[in-house]
Structure 1
Amino acid sequence: MAGASDNGGWSSDGGSPDDLPDLPEEWGVIVIPDDLSELSDEVDAIRAELRLSGPPNRWQRLLRRPAVRRLRRFAATTLRAPVLIISLAVLVTVASLFASAWPGPPRQPAAQRTASTTPERASTLPALELVASDGQMVPLRGRLPAVILLVDGCACTALISDTIDAVGPEIAVITVSAATASASAAGTPPTGATPQANGKTVRMLNDPAGSLRTHLRLEAPDTTAAAVLVDHGTNIVRVIPRTLSVDDFKSDLARL
């Protein structure tokens, strides 16, 4: 048996130097033999335990080969990306379902159009045929550009005269009333279908059914006239629902 000096300072009775911790008590007394053959019993016991596990079979040996190990690692790495993508897709789908089912802020009710809202008027002159003073049907679009004055119930002699003076020779002045009597009362001269006034075209047309006023969504006639400015392309440039002076639309005549 080795002495204390042969064990690097350890005593033969299992003691330890002062500068090293003691061994656990459950280990008991540890004796290191000088001849390693004395440990043959312990070696045989360990080998017996290893034999109990049995030799690896064919599949175990196949799986332990380096090529198979590399293939398994490659397959595991390849499958990670699809699994991650599928997991993210599932999470996004679940989040979308929660978001759609979650009650949001209350929506403000859409503003409803009331009776006081101004109705939207037509943007082009309708293709109507009105009655001339001689009883012939005349297309309303037959002479453009034009200033159309709806003069029912209006003493508009000055307005008509001032409009004729304000327009150029290329712009027609058309007066429209519900009946010939109304036109005469309004001050329009009872002449032919296309009377001339200082080289300018003036037409008097009757609209007994009030089709033009209805199409333009104008209110019922009163003591004022309604003026409609139409360009060459039948586009309505401006509508003045109530007027008694050419100054209300004089600046718009240049747009015709």
Structure 2
Amino acid sequence: MAGASDNGGRPPGGGSPDDLPDFPEEWGVIVIPDDLSELADEVEAVRAELRTGPPLTGWQLFVRRPGVRRLRRFGTLLMRTPALIVSVAVLVTVASLFASAWPGPARQPATQRTAGTTPSPAGKLPALDMIGTDGQSVSILSSLPAVLLLTDGCDCARLLDDTVAAIDPGVTVLAITTAGVSADVSTGVSAGPSAATGVLPTTRTPRADGKNVTFLQDRTDTLRTQLDLSDPDGTAAAILVNRTGDIVRIHARTASIETIRPDLARL
């Protein structure tokens, strides 16, 4: 065994070469043997201290192999991927729910409405009963297809004549007023509504082609109210209805047959 004087080239007395710091004094004199086998007892003591835990089982040794550890990491990744997908799907669903419930800016109408015209289709014609010229109740749904002309405050004799002339034989023209109409029975259809008379014509000369106007009285102005039409202004309101009761078009202000002529073919 080497002496203290041969301690790794240290000078005698434990001095430090090259001005290196000395070992702590509590370590005492450190001697490095020439034969490392002389440290076997110290090695065993250290190993004994490291083996303080219980010995590993065969299964623990198996799962600690490198190949098994790689398989475990791969399996963990496979399990995390579906969980990640489900989490993203849940977040997207919640975000879409919030987006649909969040009030957005007011949308502009897709089409520009022209004054006095309701876009087609406008819904179903209300099932209303009105008073006919004989004082009996008449259902407006029994006269479809039809052109309904609300003629309060309107000098509509020309419009009525032109409408009857333009329609097909199977279409009915209904002239509706709240107070009543008066008619020149000698000319038949040329009957202008008059809110002042309060009476309906009882006789009229039929046309040769069999097409005539049916006069009805809506005393409570229910039809105008349900269709949200404006008050009378000297023009007629025209409602075109097909045979199934669907409103093809509503013209809130009509003074000429040319306004409704394009829609007559759809009845």
Shift of 1:53: 3.0
Residue 119 and residue 109 in structure 1: after superposition, are their counterparts in 2 closer, same or farther (change >3 A)?
A: farther
- The counterpart of 2:43, out of the listed 38, 42, 50, is 50
Residue 202 and residue 107 in structure 1: after superposition, are their counterparts in 2 closer, same or farther (change >3 A)?
A: closer
Decide whether the 8 Å contact of 1:195 with 1:202 is kept in 2. Answer: no
Residues 61-101 of structure 1: CA deviation (Å, up to 9, x unaligned): 645x6x74232333674267448829x85xx79xx7xx98x
Aligned to 1:28: 9
TM-score normalised by the chain length of structure 2:
0.61
Report the AA paired with residue 229 of structure 1.
L
Decide whether the 8 Å contact of 1:196 with 1:202 is kept in 2. Answer: no
TM-score normalised by the chain length of structure 1:
0.64
Q: Give the Cα–Cα distance (whole angstroms) in 1 for the partners of residues 128 and 103 of structure 2.
A: 45
Q: Give the Cα–Cα distance (whole angstroms) in 1 for the partners of residues 118 and 254 of structure 2.
A: 19
Residue 107 and residue 190 in structure 1: after superposition, are their counterparts in 2 closer, same or farther (change >3 A)?
A: closer
User: 1:230-241, aligned counterparts within 5 Å?
Assistant: 230-241=241-252
Shift of 1:143: 1.0
Matched, 1:78 2:72: yes
Matched, 1:187 2:197: no
Unaligned runs of 5+ in 1: 1-25, 30-39
Percent identity over the alignment is 34
Aligned to 1:255: 266
Aligned to 1:177: 177
Matched, 1:197 2:207: yes
Cα RMSD of the aligned pairs, angstroms, is 4.2
The range that moved more, 122-131 or 70-79, is 70-79
Decide whether the 8 Å contact of 2:116 with 2:253 is kept in 1. Answer: no
- The counterpart of 2:239, out of the listed 211, 228, 232, is 228
Q: Give the Cα–Cα distance (whole angstroms) in 2 for the partners of residues 251 and 120 of structure 1.
A: 14
Q: Give the Cα–Cα distance (whole angstroms) in 2 for the partners of residues 178 and 170 of structure 1.
A: 26
Aligned-partner SS, 1:221: coil
Aligned to 1:69: 61
Q: Give the Cα–Cα distance (whole angstroms) in 1 for the partners of residues 117 and 242 of structure 2.
A: 22
Residue 69 and residue 173 in structure 1: after superposition, are their counterparts in 2 closer, same or farther (change >3 A)?
A: same
Unaligned runs of 5+ in 2: 1-6, 11-32, 109-114, 185-190, 194-199
Q: Give the Cα–Cα distance (whole angstroms) in 1 for the partners of residues 175 and 157 of structure 2.
A: 11
Aligned to 2:157: 157
Aligned-partner SS, 1:200: coil
Aligned to 2:253: 242
User: 1:82-93, aligned counterparts within 5 Å?
Assistant: 82=76, 85=80
Question: Number of residues paired by the alignment?
Answer: 204
Q: Give the Cα–Cα distance (whole angstroms) in 2 for the partners of residues 139 and 174 of structure 1.
A: 11
Decide whether the 8 Å contact of 1:151 with 1:183 is kept in 2. Answer: no
